[in-house]
Structure 1
């Protein structure tokens, strides 16, 4: 009698193969599904970076520069009909030295931070000796501060003598500042003034030019509104 041999379990092998294929396919689909969100997150992060770069690199819509200064100075007064004690020459037309003064200044300017700016300025000068005198000088100013440490400016406007007697003249001035730090610097200011005075025997409407210079400190504060 012939001995029966056991049949190979083809069905078991087939089932194993099919299950293995399904597992591999599921793993592939799962990995693809996980990669999609990762790709989406990368795109979103890239978009955020691009928006941030665009915002930071855009030119500011508004820019304000504020300046405040404190300085000491003196000057020369020309045409001295009253023979002041500080007369430097022999005639009335010779110059005389003005009293030393303390000057407080402030300015507000608008414009591009790396270009020409314009705005308003206000100064108050107080005599430190002799007859008490106070002068107020509002005006219009132009200034420029580039990427370096220097700032240059010019200004013009009325010069109002508040005491001892009220008088109004004109002032044209300019100066430069060297910044030791980003916001603190040394400033040199040169101003020319022209005043009308009381009549004399020689002239009915005399004028009194004054040339002065001052040296002090200045503070620069910049901000975006």
Structure 2
């Protein structure tokens, strides 16, 4: 009679198959850890880096807007017409200008904690004597750091609209101290130069004017 070989038990085959699968799985994991890049992990890390760079980079398109109201006065030098406010004995002595009020607005671009530049426009009205209206457009350069102080300089034409049309040049500088984040006190000092009508002494006389004003300023910052 032929002897029957014993069949391997099913449990032994299952154990062998399971063990082989585990070994292969562990080997695959080790190979992936050593040599195969993890695409999802790299994508997540790249996304985090891009987000950090976007948040830490200085904002683009930053805009600062300023609006102010101030009151002041000035000194006019070379007074050939002997104005009533003459302060000296000769025509070359200074005279006091009429008190005035100025409305101004400015728009500047640049980094929020660095130098910014843009344009400004001011309208000045005389508060006493002959009615005068002066329009002052110009270029402005300013700096406001993380503190409460703002410094600026401006230059441009100064257009006398009334009572007679005339055009001069002005250069000014000033500063502001902000009581709150957007409201502050501003001091502006300006020097202007106008050419006037001829006199017996001079055919093209020049009239320098030095003025100062004090007022309130509002600072509004936004990203377009």
Fold shared per TM-score above 0.5: yes
Deviation at 1:115, TM superposition (A): 1.1
Query: Which residue of structure 1 aligns with residue 74 of structure 2?
Result: 75
Query: Which residue of structure 2 aligns with residue 111 of structure 1?
Result: 110
2:48 matched to 1:62?
no
Query: Which residue of structure 2 aligns with residue 204 of structure 1?
Result: 203
Query: Which residue of structure 2 aligns with residue 94 of structure 1?
Result: 93
Q: Distance in 2 between matches of 1:159 and 1:124?
A: 10
TM-score when normalising by structure 1: 0.79
| Structure 2 SS opposite 1:53 | helix
| Structure 2 SS opposite 1:75 | strand
Structure 1 stretch displaced more, 111-120 or 162-171: 111-120
| Structure 1 SS opposite 2:52 | helix
| 1:56-75 deviation per Cα after TM superposition (whole angstroms, max 9, x unaligned) | 11222221111111000000
Q: Distance in 2 between matches of 1:52 and 1:204?
A: 68
Q: Distance in 2 between matches of 1:188 and 1:157?
A: 18
Two-structure CA RMSD over aligned residues (Å) = 2.9
| 1:119-164 deviation per Cα after TM superposition (whole angstroms, max 9, x unaligned) | 1111100000100000001011111111111111001110000000
- Give the 5 Å matches for 1:115-130: 115-130=114-129
- Give the 5 Å matches for 1:149-168: 149-168=148-167
| 1:147-193 deviation per Cα after TM superposition (whole angstroms, max 9, x unaligned) | 11111100111000000000000000010001111111100000000
Query: Which residue of structure 2 aligns with residue 215 of structure 1?
Result: 214
Query: Which residue of structure 1 aligns with residue 192 of structure 2?
Result: 193
The structure with the largest alpha-carbon Rg is 1
Q: Distance in 1 between matches of 2:114 and 2:145?
A: 7
Q: Distance in 2 between matches of 1:182 and 1:48?
A: 35
Deviation at 1:45, TM superposition (A): 7.8
| Structure 2 SS opposite 1:129 | coil
2:213 matched to 1:180?
no
Query: Which residue of structure 1 aligns with residue 135 of structure 2?
Result: 136
Deviation at 1:46, TM superposition (A): 7.0
Q: Distance in 2 between matches of 1:177 and 1:44?
A: 48
- Size of the aligned set, in residue pairs, is 209
Q: Distance in 2 between matches of 1:54 and 1:199?
A: 64
Q: Distance in 2 between matches of 1:182 and 1:43?
A: 42
Q: Distance in 2 between matches of 1:133 and 1:54?
A: 54
Q: Distance in 1 between matches of 2:218 and 2:60?
A: 24
| 1:27-69 deviation per Cα after TM superposition (whole angstroms, max 9, x unaligned) | xxxxxxxxxxxxxx99998776555433211222221111111
